[in-house]
């Protein structure tokens, strides 16, 4: 940031030293033109472990042939250590025309490294980084680092010409590279076979993929032990078609003139079928509406089926039955909204309905006017 304006106008040495390393020689104080300026990045926090790093006058970077470009990205302690640091480079092929230009990127932690003109490496002594490259044949390069170290990460970009393994400094080609750097909770949001979750262990908060259907890996992309498509389809069909067992109770209720009970059974059969079709872990998934709506209707229909069955067995007066049906529907809806997976959502209505059944069928327990003929 404090480099003089004459940096781009003065002749540069043929072999620039490594970034951050002073030049050796007699009378040695490194002149300013021997150090490459580090460009800062703008940090934009979106959510937990969701940060985008923007460069000024970007996102495209022009790389002249005589010097590299170095960028610095700061990862904060605790807040950024539990995500995935992603880096993407994309070469604009029209900017290099017909020249065989390759752009190299070296990502290192805490200490920046420069890329030489001949042997391209991203390591020096005990320091090693991550090397990327883009060219006319491979225009996009991606790098992902799960749970990165906090601190400052440096990215050095350099354009060289020729064909590997040895390259030369380009003469007139100024390559243009589009750079995209961001921090995300999980790799590609875990894909179709996983779910990204925030976890906490010993006061450390981090994000990880919970894979399903036998898939593994950082982003649930390892299919070594994954279930086949045919197996997933078969398991989904068997689970959904099992709801056809509601058809005999529906037919029996209609023949016995229990129309309201038959309607509740039909409601449960319909939403249970499509809820389980939408709740599959793999790619065999079919959702006709929002998942939360399907789950609520499935749970409500299951509890109401138990409720109306026991109340119908009590043989109460039609007015009493209608009041209990409506009261049960309202209370069950409230209970499911409070805690959808609570144990008492089923035990409470079942015990209450069984109590009414025992009272109604007990000898002399209720007046005769309360019972139907």
Distance between CA atoms of residues 303 and 372, nearest Å: 25
* DSSP 8-class letter at 25: S
Q: 258 CB contacts (<8 Å, ≥6 apart)? A: 312
Asked whether residue 240 is domain-assigned, the answer is yes
Q: Do 274 and 172 belong together in one domain? A: no
Q: What is the pTM of this model?
A: 0.61
The pLDDT of residue 39 is 84
Residues 252, 359, single domain; the answer is: yes
Residue 104 lies in a domain: yes
My answer on whether 49 and 148 are in the same domain is yes
Are 165 and 254 in a shared domain? no
Boundary-marking domain end, from 185, 211, 242:
185
Residue 7 is assigned to a structural domain of this protein: no
83 shares a domain with 52: yes
Q: Are residues 241 and 340 in the same domain?
A: yes
Nearest to 198 by CA among 50, 324, 48, 64: 48
**25 in a structural domain:** no
Range of the domain at 44: 33-185
Domain match, 58 and 110 both? yes
Do 269 and 216 lie in a common domain?
no
List the CATH number of the domain containing 92. Answer: 2.60.120.680
In a domain, 8, yes or no: no
343 burial (CB, 10 Å; 0-12 / 13-18 / 19+) is: exposed
Examine the domain organization and report whether 220 and 244 are in the same domain. Answer: no
Same structural domain, 78 and 207: no
The total number of structural domains in the chain stands at 3
Long-range contacts of the stretch 55-62 (C-beta < 8 A, 24+) = 55/179, 58/179, 59/178, 59/179, 59/180, 60/92, 60/176, 60/177, 60/178, 60/179, 61/157, 61/176, 61/177, 61/178, 61/179, 62/95, 62/174, 62/175, 62/176
* Burial class for 66, CB neighbours closer than 10 Å (0-12, 13-18, 19+): middle
Domain boundary among 170, 195, 226: 226
pLDDT at 98: 65
- Name the E strands within the chain: 38-47, 50-55, 60-63, 69-75, 84-91, 101-109, 123-124, 127-128, 130-134, 140-146, 151-161, 168-169, 175-184, 194-201, 204-211
> Does 171 reside within a domain?
yes
Q: Which two tokens mark 260?
A: 């309201």
Same domain, 208 and 180: no
- 13: in domain: no
Q: Do both 236 and 306 map to the same domain? A: yes
Q: Which CATH number do you get for residue 211?
A: 2.10.25
Exposed e or buried b per residue across 355-366, where buried means at least 16 C-beta atoms within 10 angstroms of its C-beta: ebbeebeeeeeb
Per-residue pLDDT tens digits of the chain, which is 373 residues long = 444 443 334 344 344 434 434 334 444 443 344 466 788 888 888 888 889 999 887 788 888 877 788 899 999 888 888 889 999 999 887 777 767 888 889 999 988 887 665 557 788 877 888 998 888 888 899 999 999 999 999 998 888 887 766 778 877 778 888 999 999 999 888 888 888 988 888 778 889 998 888 888 888 888 888 888 888 889 889 989 999 999 999 999 999 989 999 999 999 999 999 999 988 877 788 888 898 999 999 999 998 998 888 888 877 788 888 898 898 889 888 888 888 777 777 777 778 777 877 777 766 554 544 444 4
Q: Would you say residue 12 lies in a domain?
A: no
Residue 314 token pair: 């009590």
Where among 195, 226, 257 does a domain terminate? 226
């Amino acid at each position: 940031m404090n480099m003089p304006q004459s940096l781009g106008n003065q002749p540069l040495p043929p072999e620039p030293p490594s970034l951050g390393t002073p030049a050796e020689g007699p009378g040695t104080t490194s002149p300013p033109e021997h150090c490459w300026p580090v460009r800062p990045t703008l940090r934009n926090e979106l959510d937990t472990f969701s940060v985008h790093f923007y460069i000024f006058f970007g996102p495209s970077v022009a790389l002249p042939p005589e010097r590299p470009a170095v960028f610095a990205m700061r990862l904060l302690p605790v807040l950024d250590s539990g995500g995935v640091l992603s880096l993407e480079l994309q070469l604009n092929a029209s900017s290099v025309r017909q020249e065989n230009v390759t752009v190299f990127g070296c990502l290192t932690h805490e200490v920046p490294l420069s890329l030489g003109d001949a042997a391209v490496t991203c390591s020096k002594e005990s320091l090693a980084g991550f090397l990327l490259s883009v060219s006319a044949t491979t225009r996009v390069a991606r790098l992902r680092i799960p749970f990165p170290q906090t601190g400052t990460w440096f990215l050095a970009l350099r354009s060289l010409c020729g064909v590997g393994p040895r390259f030369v400094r380009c003469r007139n080609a100024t390559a243009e590279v589009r750079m995209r750097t961001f921090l995300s909770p999980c790799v590609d949001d875990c894909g179709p076979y996983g779910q990204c979750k925030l976890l906490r262990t010993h006061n450390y908060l981090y994000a990880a993929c919970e894979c399903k259907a036998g898939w593994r890996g950082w982003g649930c992309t390892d299919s070594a032990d994954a279930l086949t498509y045919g197996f997933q389809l078969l398991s989904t069909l068997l689970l959904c078609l099992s709801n056809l067992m509601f058809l005999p109770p529906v037919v029996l209720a209609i023949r016995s003139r229990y129309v309201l009970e038959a309607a509740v059974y039909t409601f449960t059969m319909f939403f249970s079928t499509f809820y389980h079709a939408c709740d599959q872990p793999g790619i065999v998934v079919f959702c006709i509406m929002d998942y939360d709506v399907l789950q609520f209707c499935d749970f409500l229909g299951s509890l109401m089926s138990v409720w109306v069955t026991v109340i119908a067995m009590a043989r109460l007066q039609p007015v009493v039955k209608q009041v209990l049906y409506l009261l049960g529907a309202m209370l069950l809806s409230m209970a499911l909204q409070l805690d959808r997976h609570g144990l008492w959502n089923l035990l409470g209505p079942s015990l209450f309905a069984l109590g009414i059944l025992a009272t109604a069928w007990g000898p002399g327990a209720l007046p005769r006017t309360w019972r139907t003929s």
